[in-house]
Amino acid sequence: MVKICCIGAGYVGGPTMAVIALNCPSIEVVVVDISVTRISAWNSDQLPIYEPGLNEVVKQCKGRNLFFSTDIEKHVSEADIIFVSVNTPTKTRGLGAGKAADLTYWESAARMIADVSKSNKIVVEKSTVPVKTAEAIERILTHNSKGIKYQILSNPEFLAEGTAIQDLFKPDRVLIGGRETPDGLKAIQALKDVYAHWVPEDRIITTNLWSAELSKLAANAFLAQRISSVNAMSALCEATGADVSQVSHAVGKDSRIGPKFLNASVGFGGSCFQKDILNLVYICECNGLAEVANYWKQVIKVNDYQKNRFVNRVVSSMFNTVSGKKIGIMGFAFKKDTGDTRETPAIDVCKGLLGDKARLSIYDPQVTADQIQRDLTMNKFDWDHPIHLQPMSPTGVKQVSIAWDAYEASKDAHALCILTEWDEFKTLDYRRIFDNMQKPAFVFDGRNVVNVEMLRDIGFIVYSIGKPLDPWLKNMPAVA
């Protein structure tokens, strides 16, 4: 029986291994993690991450051929294939601070593999890591090999949160990079055999190691670039009276461009886009490619601009001050159908409003009060460390309260800011909300989910990203 061990039971490792286990009953899959609470959660009925469809998949194979454990060394030493899916935070100190990936966790995983292995291993890089990490890991393993052979593969994950299970079941492609030596090709084939249980052969792409690693960064940079492009257009639409949804629709009809990933928003978030682009920028700089680095940096700058622009719009519309005013924040996760808040635009928007002394009442159907408080007090880039190594948040932010539902968050508020496109925000009883708010009552829709006409009929002043401006907003100070 082939044995797989995955180091790191997070958003990538957990769902990916569950889908492998479900589709490959003949393979034993063990997911290990240093976090005891995370592993206990995977072993309970309350999984540590929210992902539609995940519960059902885990239920079917947990205890059959899918196991979660903290006994890392035992399972690593018994495995034939080891996936490494640990954190790769952005460095906050030293060489490459603010851009380069911190490989502390990867390196410690590699050294542990070298320490405990007694048989040949295929080591699969699953976390997003900068180009040439595989080579570094290969060096650590071979210099500590005690005669054991290691093959390093790069198998980047392309799943998006909120749709992880369907992405894993029907991937556009599976990418496997490896050494082009006889042993390397054998390792590639072994991993291909795993995916071939459910992925059609023509969707499994094999490349050299570096192409696989760079493709992951490139794919995320291209996707993020589309959002920054459409968000840049949204500012121009507001200035001119064009409607960004109409523009996106017309642009996306060009089959060379395509309709997906053209929704204007308050900004992109998530654990990958910003981090991967920063990695790309760093790699370009290290290779003396300043212009290329600047080109990609601009994608992040436009994203920061979009979040600032939103905050400025809120403040300038409300008589240039939100001091002491209650603002209901609808949604905190970086997108719908996930409880994940990593790099969510809500953090910067909330911090911006708090900077102007607003009082916030935050509601998100999946994010815990603890998490929100931690996010609002945490330093930039600290989020990507295992939770027990993150600095403890001091006391919660005083001007922030957490609400149980949208109605509580909006009660007596001067304004609502919709920051995540949860479906339930489309069908709220906005008449009831309006009646319980201060007047004039504002809705700032950062995700273009509400029916603007209906809300204006009720009496709201409504701002939507990239749409013709409400007459009220036209008379307010222009925003940069």
Determine if 117 is a binding residue for ligand ADP (CB under 6 A).
no
The single residue among 20, 72, 122, 175 that binds ligand ADP, judged by CB under 6 A, is: 72
327 to 366: interface string for ligand UDX, x by CB under 6 A: -------xx-------------------------------
Preceding omega of 440 cis (within 30 degrees of 0): yes
Determine if 425 is a binding residue for ligand UDX (CB under 6 A).
no
CA 248 to the chain's CA centroid: 23
Choose between 9 and 311: whose C-beta lies nearer to ligand ADP: 9
Identity (one letter) of the amino acid at 423?
D
The single residue among 109, 140, 262, 400 that binds ligand ADP, judged by CB under 6 A, is: 109
User: For the chain, what's the residue count?
Assistant: 480
- Any known ligand binding at 274? yes
The single residue among 263, 274, 303, 448 that binds ligand UDX, judged by CB under 6 A, is: 263
- Any known ligand binding at 93? no
334 binding partner (options ligand UDX, ligand ADP, none; Cβ < 5 to 8 Å by kind)? ligand UDX
Contact 30, 67 (CB under 8 A): yes
Determine if 108 is a binding residue for ligand ADP (CB under 6 A).
yes
Contact 265, 248 (CB under 8 A): no
- Any known ligand binding at 38? yes
Choose between 157 and 364: whose C-beta lies nearer to ligand UDX: 157
User: Which residues, including other chains, have CB under 8 Å from residue 178's CB and lie 6 or more apart?
Assistant: 151, 152, 153, 154, 184, 185, 187, 188, 206, 208, 209, 212
Which among 373, 362, 292 is positioned nearest to 326, based on CA atoms? 362
Choose between 41 and 286: whose C-beta lies nearer to ligand ADP: 41
Stretch (H or E) spanning 290: helix 290-317
Please give the Cα distance from 283 to 160 (Å, whole number). Answer: 24
Contact 41, 2 (CB under 8 A): no
Determine if 102 is a binding residue for ligand UDX (CB under 6 A).
no
Determine if 113 is a binding residue for ligand ADP (CB under 6 A).
no
Q: What is the DSSP-derived secondary structure letter of residue 101?
A: B
Tokens describing residue 47: 């999984």
Which among 230, 239, 321 is positioned nearest to 267, based on CA atoms? 230
Q: In the annotation, is 272 catalytic?
A: yes
Interface with ligand UDX in residues 150-189 (CB under 6 A): 157-161
- Any known ligand binding at 96? no
Interface with ligand UDX in residues 268-327 (CB under 6 A): 268-270, 272-273
Closest residue to ligand UDX using C-beta atoms: 270
In the complex, the smallest distance separating the C-beta of residue 128 from ligand ADP, rounded to whole angstroms, is 7
Q: Which of 272, 284, 350, 417 is catalytic?
A: 272
For tokens 């680095």, the residue is 293
Contact 111, 140 (CB under 8 A): yes
- Any known ligand binding at 417? no
Determine if 86 is a binding residue for ligand ADP (CB under 6 A).
yes
Determine if 35 is a binding residue for ligand ADP (CB under 6 A).
yes
Which among 446, 440, 450, 448 is positioned nearest to 471, based on CA atoms? 440
- 269 burial class (0-12, 13-18, 19+ CB within 10 angstroms)? buried
- Any known ligand binding at 9? yes
User: Which residues, including other chains, have CB under 8 Å from residue 197's CB and lie 6 or more apart?
Assistant: 23, 24
Please give the Cα distance from 153 to 120 (Å, whole number). Answer: 14
Determine if 162 is a binding residue for ligand ADP (CB under 6 A).
no
- Any known ligand binding at 127? yes
Quickly count: other Cβ atoms within 10 Å of residue 130's Cβ.
23
Interface with ligand ADP in residues 118-137 (CB under 6 A): 127
Cα angle value 237/241/245 (rounded, 5°): 55
- Any known ligand binding at 395? no
Choose between 271 and 464: whose C-beta lies nearer to ligand ADP: 271
220 binding partner (options ligand ADP, ligand UDX, none; Cβ < 5 to 8 Å by kind)? ligand UDX
- Any known ligand binding at 275? yes
The single residue among 85, 90, 366, 448 that binds ligand ADP, judged by CB under 6 A, is: 85
161 binding partner (options ligand ADP, ligand UDX, none; Cβ < 5 to 8 Å by kind)? ligand UDX
Report the Cα–Cα distance between both ends of the chain, in Å, rounded.
62
Determine if 220 is a binding residue for ligand ADP (CB under 6 A).
no
Which among 162, 154, 156, 104 is positioned nearest to 134, based on CA atoms? 154
> 416 - beta bridge partners?
328, 443
Determine if 220 is a binding residue for ligand UDX (CB under 6 A).
yes
Please give the Cα distance from 124 to 145 (Å, whole number). Answer: 17
Identity (one letter) of the amino acid at 382?
D
Catalytic residues: 272
Binding site for ligand ADP (CB under 6 A): 7-13, 32-35, 38, 72, 85-87, 105, 108-109, 127, 271, 386
Q: Which residues are annotated as a binding site for NAD(+)?
A: 8-13, 33, 38, 86-90, 127-128, 161, 272-275, 342
Binding site for ligand UDX (CB under 6 A): 157-161, 220, 223, 227, 261-263, 265, 268-270, 272-273, 334-335
